[in-house]
Chain A
């Protein structure tokens, strides 16, 4: 039971990270590899806000949401928009986002140095609850609630709101969307902003969960994020949610029953078999583009 809960806590962070990742892919058909840099950067900035500015975590999270969104706008403007209309845009976008991500991390190092950072000890509630024989900290509940609230909010927004309709139109066919009077550039920018806002919050939640942040924290979650969005189906929001939980649970149980050195084999083995057996993923709405 304890493992199950731990898996859900970890998985909900993976899911939140991955849902932003997959949003950009689903709407814009681009893989944004700077997403993990947003994750790390936001975690550092979040710790800074709590430790230096003395803000409460409830104020910090919305600020980080906005901060991540701004980073997303920067990523879109610098790494993706200049590639518009280029035949290799898909591929070049991978590289340009890697480059921009590396620059973010370099700036992070300039600002905070290479050391691990932690939240001050009294930054968040310490209470623990007993639940069906397992111990749950209030903090962990907060993580799950925030993650799920954001994910459900995003899913509702995409399916209900005007902006969401625009996103789905752009995903279907950007040219047709343009002809219908949809401001494709604006939708694109907002998609990046939303995606990075969620990635940023995921970074802070992750740092809260393990109470530390390193510059390299993004690269391992980037791989997990890729695994999650493939398992769930590229571009599928509920898929990313479920995939995140699945990978989180698989990891926690692998550590318990197989040994920690084999932890990642589970995620990648799962990823590999999904790709071979059902490349569109569990919830894949989108066909694999053959030829």
Chain B
């Protein structure tokens, strides 16, 4: 055994280091972001550490490597933060290229400094071997393992799947993306320091584009949906060339060829990476008898939303024109009108996704158009569904609803890291809250299925369950019955009235006029951005202006809405 360790010591250490580097990509990929700045960050961290690593243990007790790691991770995190400030508004390929450019600029800056040794490079003391490298990897892997089941981990997964829906669930998308960015920078810094103190030499050119690509490839081959992925990727990709050498493949070109081929096969035929080969452990489902204590909803009749002279113009188009709208607790307000009447614009204003051009009012106590971000309004108690279904497709139905419970659950990552039982208790409460909502909409037996695989009607109801999990004061439903037949629509109507009986205030947009009349306590009719009628369902249904808006003037010929 010791002979094996000796002859492969370098490979085994590299395996751990590559794994650490892959986690720095995992940290951003799990939030759906592609950053390629890590090589530059690692390089900056490594060279900075060369300035501070003391010749003797600090104060006689703190090991030299620990000093280097602390400084390196701080440098990595701080640089990632500085980079994040301007680039956080970029997405996808743009983010990838901007971070890549940043990494390259760091490389060139370092090459032109004298303290880094420039292109000559710099020697480092040998402070890292198998134990240090694997310990570091274990700590990093542990972090991401505990992150996975925490509230923060779920929020990041939600952002990866659908940023807008995450925002509507009260998740501060910008802050969370920045957190994943900074985490990634810290881990990249750790890698840089470890690598330099293992190979005892570093030059800035060694941390270029191809290094970043290798780290990305390792993370992706391992899989980005499970914390173990980067570790698997690293073991696989580090061992592959060794295996080839062991079986006598020596030609210089065969190894890169086979590595490329394996990478191609994994990405084409194993979309979840190597981690997808690990059988999925079915999670526990909470007991509805242990529901969390939630604050009571406002008493019936309390004003929830009140809008005055709200107007929204898109160019010259008045999407919403001087609309007044009042909603009181426990009401079911129906918002109807022909296509293009301004219904969705209006509820986007109510839920804070779109600022009004003019007008004033408050929604759950927050002034409309005051620049309060949408997630703050969600946290204040406004939950919604979307006309175009926006579920977190690759998460299970239950996990979707758990994200909805973001508002009413507590952060658990730090307590999970030190295995406090209270963290598990809080997770169970959140799980129970989520499961109760699934049961409420009749999807309890679908809890484990991926949301994207559910039939259309179930997806609509799952969106409602997710919105309900936030224990909302005001629930906005944007065409929940779209695509349902009249039996399903009737069941939905019964469900909605039940919610109102439980004290939830509801704003319902729907094209199915019969369902609106049967469900709502009050109906508001919009046409060309203006309120043309409002009142109880029976009155509104008889209003000639409504009939005209829906059916056209008599000599227009009837056209069904």
Contact = CB atoms under 8 A, between A and B. Distances in A.
B87 A289 contact: no
Interface stretch (B251-259, B309-317, B421-429, B433-441): B251-259
Given A90-B92, A100-B264, A261 B97 contact: no
Given A87-B394, A98-B217, A99-B264, A219 B210 contact: yes
Interface stretch (B8-16, B42-50, B107-115): B107-115
Given A82-B268, A109-B253, A272-B105, A100 B260 contact: yes
A234 interface: yes
A275 B87 CA distance: 8
A276 B257 contact: no
A124 interface: no
B252 A261 contact: no
Interface in A96-135: 96, 98-103, 105-107, 109-110, 114
A252 interface: no
Given A109-B252, A264-B108, A288-B90, A226 B100 contact: yes
A105 B432 CA distance: 54
Contact of A289 (B92, B251, B261): B92
A59 B452 CA distance: 54
B269 to A, nearest CB: 8
Interface string B189-233: 000000000000000000001100100110010000000000000
B93 A234 contact: yes
A268 B256 contact: no
A106 B260 contact: yes
A265 interface: yes
B145 interface: no
Given A102-B256, A272-B105, A276-B87, A261 B111 contact: yes
Interface in A235-275: 261-262, 264-265, 268-269, 271-272, 275
B253 A223 contact: no
B263 A99 contact: yes
Contact of B105 (A101, A103, A234, A265): A265
Contact of A290 (B87, B91, B93, B109): B91
A176 interface: no
B104 interface: yes
Contacts of A289: 91-92
B163 A275 contact: no
A208 interface: no
Contact of B263 (A91, A102, A276): A102
A31 B261 contact: no
Nearest to A229: B97
B248 interface: no
Given A102-B260, A261-B108, A262-B108, A271 B254 contact: no
A98 B267 CA distance: 11
A288 B264 contact: no
B90 A279 contact: yes
A90 B93 CA distance: 9
Interface in B82-140: 86-87, 90-94, 97-98, 100-102, 104-105, 108-109, 111-112, 119
Contacts of A222: 209
Contacts of B100: 223, 226
A79 B269 CA distance: 11
A196 B76 CA distance: 38
B256 A288 contact: no
B261 A103 contact: yes
Given A91-B34, A269-B105, A271-B97, A106 B264 contact: no
Contact of A223 (B91, B209, B256): B209
B536 interface: no
A5 B153 CA distance: 54
A225 B122 CA distance: 31
Q: Chain B contact residues: over half helix, strand or loop, or mixed?
A: helix
B544 interface: no
A288 B93 CA distance: 10
Interface residues of B, number: 46
Contacts of B393: 87
A105 B256 contact: yes
A92 B421 CA distance: 39
B271 interface: yes
B463 to A, nearest CB: 17
Contacts of A213: none
A179 interface: no
A172 B465 CA distance: 35
Contacts of A91: 34, 220
A95 interface: yes
A99 to B, nearest CB: 4
B164 interface: yes
A103 B101 contact: no
A107 B105 CA distance: 32
A230 interface: yes
A264 B452 CA distance: 44
A234 B16 CA distance: 38
Contacts of A268: 101-102, 104-105, 108
A88 B271 contact: yes
A262 B112 contact: yes
A87 B264 CA distance: 17
A279 B254 CA distance: 41
Contacts of A114: 252
A178 to B, nearest CB: 21
8 contacts: A103-B257, A106-B254, A223-B104, A261-B111, A269-B101, A275-B98, A288-B94, A291-B91
Interface of B: 34, 86-87, 90-94, 97-98, 100-102, 104-105, 108-109, 111-112, 119, 163-164, 209-210, 213, 216-217, 220, 251-257, 259-261, 263-264, 267-268, 271, 393-394, 452
Interface of A: 25, 31, 78-79, 82-83, 86-88, 90-92, 94-96, 98-103, 105-107, 109-110, 114, 219, 222-223, 226-227, 230, 234, 261-262, 264-265, 268-269, 271-272, 275-276, 279, 288-291
